[in-house]
Amino acid sequence: MKNRKLEKRNKLKKKLITILVVIVFIAIAILIQRLIYHKIDEENPVSNAPKNETLASQEENKQEENKTEETVVEDDGQIKVVPTMNDEVLGNAAWCGTLQLVWNDLMEKAGGELIFDPEITMATNLNKKEFTKENISEDDYYQTYGLQTEKLKEKIEKNIKEKFNEKSDILDDFDWFETEKEAGNCYFFYAMLKKVFNFEYVFDDLDDGIFENGKYKDVKYFGVTTSTDERVRSQIRILYYNSDDDFAVSLRTKEGEEIILCNNPEGKNFKEIYDNINNKNKKYSGMRILEDIDDFKMPNLKFNLEEKYKDLTGKSFTTENSEGAINAVIQTIEFELNKKGGKLKSEAAISADVTSAIEEPKTPKHLYLDDSFVMFLVEEDKDTPYFAVKISDISKFQ
């Protein structure tokens, strides 16, 4: 009997020892696991954040990875071509409406505003469509679009030669397809603007001078002095004058062009600057013409620019009715102004793949009057009919 009890006690001890050993191993495993996680946390602090913060950070990182870096606007001394009047300008900058004209055609073909993910600032500004062909005389621009074929290129070359006696500076920069089948969904959007304007009376050549407080020397100027012919002086109109450092004037041309000149402009983009000039002009109550003691000078201008918009190149877009991608965007601006007048020539072109969205098949309407119906006859601009008939038994009417 004693042996059996002793045997049972020994078995119970063994079980307890086994359980204790298991518990010790589990405790050691948990301790090791915590030490490992603690080491990872030290190397990666994000893991210390609450779960919801970690998920939010992961989402932000994902968005940052998908974000396209846009070109930062910097004043590097060169002339920066901006796509719209709403784009920021720093230092030297130029804008012409030709790119907006071709963008408008692209939106028309694609069926709405072009949406990019992530958003591209210049595309958002172009979507505003603040410049259209209604803002310029039909005689001064040419625009067209179609499948990017050799036939379209020949058509453009022929038309700009006939209308402006000009050759394109950018058409050869694009690859052209021989047939429409080869072009597929690749469309080409093109515009040229050309302006030539002359002063009715030639301004005076003035002595070479300095610009920006002597930073630039030997700058060529034209304008008027106190002894200049009154007919020349009358071509200048003061929009506002607050001081020699704060004024705006306009120059009148034979063709009716108004050249607006503003000293020390205010605004972060061309639209803000223009609006500020208009606001000051409306408030100005001083003399609008030059008096005998007044003079005016401005530098001759001449430049030739080409801009390839890399922020748009290769980017995919969607609209309500289609999707596509921009292959290339080029714009040129050539400008000259002197004592006799000026000239402007600008081209813009966009090559883009545009695929129309699949439309639901339309259900045909069968408008058959082959059952009981009613007819009224009413005179134009009258509210009451002068005749009515209901047809139920067609045999009575035929």
pLDDT in tens, 296-318: 999 999 999 999 999 999 999 99
pLDDT of the residue at 66: 43
Question: Of residues 202 and 257, which shows the higher confidence score?
Answer: 202
Lowest mean per-residue pLDDT among 20-29, 128-137, 232-241, 341-350: 20-29
**350 pLDDT above the threshold of 90:** yes
Q: Write down the mean pLDDT value for the chain.
A: 85
Helix (H) or strand (E) holding 91: none
Give the C-alpha separation, 110 to 106, whole Å.
6
DSSP code, position 115 = B
Q: Which residue has the tokens 């719209």?
A: 84
CB neighbours (10 Å) of residue 128?
A: 13
Collapsing DSSP to helix, strand or coil, 45 comes out as helix
pLDDT tier for residue 33 given thresholds of 50, 70 and 90 = low
Instruction: Check: CB of residue 250 under 8 Å from CB of residue 277.
Output: no
Question: pLDDT digit string (tens) for 98-144?
Answer: 999 999 999 999 999 999 999 999 999 999 999 999 999 999 999 99
CB neighbours (10 Å) of residue 8?
A: 10
Q: What is the dihedral of CA 203, 206, 208, 209, to 10 degrees?
A: -100
**Residue 109 in tokens:** 């073909």
Instruction: Check: CB of residue 300 under 8 Å from CB of residue 332.
Output: no
Which contacts of 73-82 are long-range, i.e. CB under 8 A and separated by 24 or more positions? 79/303, 79/305, 81/305, 81/307, 81/331, 81/333, 82/122, 82/269, 82/270
Question: pLDDT digit string (tens) for 386-395?
Answer: 666 676 777 7
Question: pLDDT digit string (tens) for 214-246?
Answer: 889 999 999 999 999 999 999 999 999 999 989
**Residue 248 in tokens:** 């705006």
pLDDT tier for residue 54 given thresholds of 50, 70 and 90 = very low
Give the C-alpha separation, 50 to 235, whole Å.
72
Strands (E), the chain: 80-81, 93-94, 141-147, 186-198, 204-211, 216-224, 236-243, 246-252, 258-262, 296-299, 301-308, 316-318, 322-337, 341-356, 373-377, 387-391
Instruction: Check: CB of residue 190 under 8 Å from CB of residue 143.
Output: yes
Q: Which residue has the tokens 């071709």?
A: 102
Instruction: Check: CB of residue 164 under 8 Å from CB of residue 194.
Output: yes
Strand partners, 252: 258
State residue 42 phi and psi, 5-degree precision: -65, -35
**Residue 237 in tokens:** 């109109």
Spell out the residues 6+ positions from residue 27 whose beta carbon is closer than 8 angstroms to its own: none
Give the C-alpha separation, 129 to 102, whole Å.
11
